[in-house]
Amino acid sequence: MQPKTLYDKIWESHVVVPETDAPAILFIDLHLIHEVTSPQAFDELRARNLRLRRPDLTLGTADHSIPTTTRALVRSDDPLAYDQVTKLDANCAEFGVELFGIQSDKQGIVHVIGPELGATQPGKTIVCGDSHTSTHGAFGALAFGIGTTEVGHVLASQCLLQRKAKNFEVRIDGQLREGVTSKDVILYVISQIGIGGGTGCVFEFTGSAVRAMNMDARMTLCNMSIEGGARAGLVAPDETTFEYLKGRLMSPKGAEWDKAVARWKELKSDEGARYDKQIVIDGATIEPMISFGTNPGMSMPITAKVPNAENEELKRALQYMDLKPGEPLLDHPIDVVFIGSCTNSRLTDLRAAASILKGRRVADNVRAVIVPGSQQIKKMAEAEGLDKIFVDAGAEWRESGCSMCIAMNADKLEPGQYSISTSNRNFEGRQGPGGRTMLASPLTAAASAVTGKVTDLRRMLKK
Amino acid sequence: MTKLDQVTSRVVCFTAENINTDQIIPARFLKRIDKSGFGNDLFTDMKPVEVFGLPDARQRQIMLCGPNFGCGSSQKHAVWTLRDFGFRVLISTAFADIFKENSLKNGVLTVTLEPAAHQQLVDAWQKNPEGEMTVDLEKQSITFAGLSIPFSINSFNRTCLLEGLDELGYILRHENQIQTFEAAR
């Protein structure tokens, strides 16, 4: 039999009708919904008099447009956001969808709570109307973002029209150096292949550096697959995955657990499986990375100098960022530090930030905002005293949500401000009109918060 | 879905590379819970002169775009915005995956051309920015200023656009197969 990749295997086990001239009809095991991309889809169901086919495979949360300063939603603060969130509540109630709403102790960013609740499991197909659905691929699930029209398709049929993508192996061998995180790895990968490098492909992250990563780190890696143009990213499940999932709310229990693990162990690419594309990276050569431009591909080692504006795109980006070719980014003043988002808001991310901020102060001219990915993470962080470290350092400690990653709530940059952000997109205006975003790891963000300047975190590591 | 067979119109030529969905419509505008009215906010932050320098931009239904147009978020609002602004056809050398799917599902035809053919159209447009272009989906050809350029498109997408066929209806026609699949799990 032809050796298969992990992606091939998950794809084949979910094909309801094979691909011909028409795309395949693919069955979806888990549909995550949130307030921004679901209202029009539910309207479509109503307009066509259709039922929600599988409420049991649908989960909802509110994350994108909610405030993170409070759990109280006040209409006059933001009428549009209020309408979206209350519409989600009403739709979930009407159609029988389990909702972890703004008041729930399990609320959080959709890509944080799926894994945290154990709903995300190896081998599943998972979709959500959000491009960072690729995050769930860290568990060996085929997970990708869809548009609102397709949200309607999945609500009504639990299926999607899909064409099979190409296989792209991203192998990261070797051992990462101290102070280098999976965020640096993915920024490095995207800087090498470009933001369109993975178009039409699904990444499979392999290699010893990936095997050594914990689940939080793997989620960061898969999260930004979409920034490299790939619709999904995958890591084959292993003991680290099973350890993470064991005992979670929606994980299989008892004998079902043993059966599930036996099945999950088969979920790996066969020896000799063919990839359409491949890149091999020596993890030991990767340095802490930072973005200097206006897409995640415009990233470089933090010690590097801003490159020449070789084309119009770079020229425009440097103009927007008000940076000059040949200028180092180190010691560039910053205004805001944002630690959070579906990329880097999990407990290990917060611990990393706390390891730097402990006993230090955020610089006077810097506003540091730390937003946990979920209420459960918030609770765990507080139990460890991380909140105290942050507040003592002068940072703001928030309720969970997407917050300053997407600037759909009150958290945003002022025009011209520089932020170091642990989020995933440094597009023009992404964090507020005129705001200038530099993407980096939680370690780099925390170190820079302390100095008020772009800082090489390795200077602050305990010797 | 609205049918689309042939579009004849003057053309916007905006070929910057990697135009992302946040540039098309910034995320802060995504809070509306209906699908209309987004057109007023197209490119609202970047205000490209290639578009807004044209007094009749909203009457121009065809845009020549740059490579990797539509990268970024999976939000459909980018397509609704372009369509609401007036565009029915986008022509590039490459579109971002999700954006392309979103477009075809929402009655906006994305035509992907080889770089040389795309450049021919751009060159011809520069000589004749007020000329009318015809994009014929039935014949799969673009005619402009004496040029006739064929394009290929997946036959399923083509049929859907030509007939205004609805994808959900297509999926639901396979109810039996879906039930069989569910029962076997």
CB nearest to A433's CB, from B45, B101, B106:
B45
In B, residues 19-58, which contact A (CB 8 Å cutoff)? 20, 22-23, 26-28, 30-35, 45-46
Instruction: Verify that A333 and A372 share a domain, yes or no.
Output: yes
* Boundary (domain end) residue, out of A107, A133, A162: A162
Residue A462 pLDDT grade (very low, low, confident, very high; cuts 50, 70, 90): low
Task: Tell me whether B177 touches chain A (CB under 8 Å).
Answer: yes
What pLDDT was estimated at residue A407? 81
List pLDDT tens digits, range A113-135: 999 999 999 999 999 999 999 99
Task: Name the residue with tokens 């014929």.
Answer: B136
Torsion of CA B12, B14, B19, B23, to 10 degrees: -60
Instruction: Verify that A130 and A15 share a domain, yes or no.
Output: yes
In B, residues 138-167, which contact A (CB 8 Å cutoff)? 154-156, 167
Helices and strands (H and E) in chain B: how many: 8, 7
Structure tokens at A337: 């530090």
Q: Fill in the amino acid letter for B123.
A: D
* Boundary (domain end) residue, out of A124, A142, A162: A162
Q: How many domains, in total, are found in chain A?
A: 3
What value does the mean pLDDT take over residues A345-372?
Answer: 98
Instruction: Verify that A305 and A364 share a domain, yes or no.
Output: yes
Residue A420 and residue A448 in contact, taking contact as beta carbons nearer than 8 Å? yes
List pLDDT tens digits, range A226-267: 999 999 999 999 999 999 999 999 999 999 999 999 999 999
Report if residue A77 sits inside a domain: yes
Residues 6+ apart with CB under 8 A from A47: none
Report if residue A340 sits inside a domain: yes
Report if residue A441 sits inside a domain: yes
**Nearest CA of chain B to the CA of A148: how many Å?**
6
Report if residue A249 sits inside a domain: no
| Nearest residue in chain B measured CA to CA from A131 | B74
Instruction: Verify that A16 and A141 share a domain, yes or no.
Output: yes
What pLDDT was estimated at residue B144? 97
| Interchain contact, B73 vs A131, CB within 8 Å | yes
List pLDDT tens digits, range B57-77: 999 999 999 999 999 876 678
| CATH number of the structural domain spanning residue A46 | 3.30.499.10
Instruction: Verify that A132 and A171 share a domain, yes or no.
Output: no
Instruction: Give A-chain residues touching B30 at CB under 8 angstroms.
Output: 36, 408
Of A163, A140, A199, A169, give the one whose Cα is nearest residue A274. Answer: A169
Give, in words, the CATH class of B6-183: alpha beta
| Interchain contact, A199 vs B97, CB within 8 Å | yes
pTM: 0.87
A148 has a pLDDT exceeding 90: no
Instruction: Verify that A50 and A145 share a domain, yes or no.
Output: yes
Instruction: Give B-chain residues touching A145 at CB under 8 angstroms.
Output: 73-74, 98
Q: What is the 3-state secondary structure (H, E, C) of A425-439?
A: CCCCCCCCCCCEEEE
Name the average pLDDT for chain A.
96
| Nearest residue in chain A measured CA to CA from B72 | A227
Of A235, A55, A54, give the one whose Cα is nearest residue A141. Answer: A235
| Nearest residue in chain A measured CA to CA from B157 | A22
Report if residue A251 sits inside a domain: no
Instruction: Verify that A323 and A360 share a domain, yes or no.
Output: yes
| Interchain contact, B101 vs A147, CB within 8 Å | yes
Residue A274 phi/psi, 5-degree rounding, is -95, 135
C-beta neighbour count of A219 within 10 angstroms: 33
C-beta neighbour count of B53 within 10 angstroms: 10
**A77/A85 Cα distance (integer angstroms):** 13
What value does the mean pLDDT take over residues A433-441?
Answer: 96
Instruction: Verify that A328 and A437 share a domain, yes or no.
Output: yes
Task: Name the residue with tokens 């999990």.
Answer: A346
**B177/A130 Cα distance (integer angstroms):** 28
Residue A109 pLDDT grade (very low, low, confident, very high; cuts 50, 70, 90): very high
Give B138's DSSP letter. Answer: T
> Which of A12, A15, A17 is most worth mutating to test chain B (most B CB atoms within 10 A of its CB)?
A17
Which structural domain, as residue segments, surrounds residue A102?
A: 6-162
Instruction: Verify that A67 and A126 share a domain, yes or no.
Output: yes
In B, residues 69-88, which contact A (CB 8 Å cutoff)? 71-76, 79
A202 has a pLDDT exceeding 80: yes
Residue A370 and residue A446 in contact, taking contact as beta carbons nearer than 8 Å? no
What pLDDT was estimated at residue B169? 87
**B5/A449 Cα distance (integer angstroms):** 56
A82 has a pLDDT exceeding 80: yes
Instruction: Verify that A238 and A170 share a domain, yes or no.
Output: yes
| Interchain contact, B45 vs A129, CB within 8 Å | no
CB nearest to A25's CB, from B73, B94, B174:
B174
Instruction: Verify that A153 and A263 share a domain, yes or no.
Output: no
Give A77's DSSP letter. Answer: G
| Interchain contact, B23 vs A427, CB within 8 Å | yes
| Interchain contact, B94 vs A199, CB within 8 Å | yes
Instruction: Verify that A218 and A141 share a domain, yes or no.
Output: no
* Boundary (domain end) residue, out of A127, A162, A197: A162
Report if residue A130 sits inside a domain: yes
Please state, in angstroms and as integers, the Cα–Cα distance from residue B22 to each residue in A220, A363, B82, following that order: 22, 31, 12
What pLDDT was estimated at residue A26? 98
**Nearest CA of chain A to the CA of B74: how many Å?**
5
What pLDDT was estimated at residue A1? 81
C-beta neighbour count of A389 within 10 angstroms: 23
Query: Domain ranges in chain B?
Result: 6-183
Residue B66 and residue B92 in contact, taking contact as beta carbons nearer than 8 Å? yes
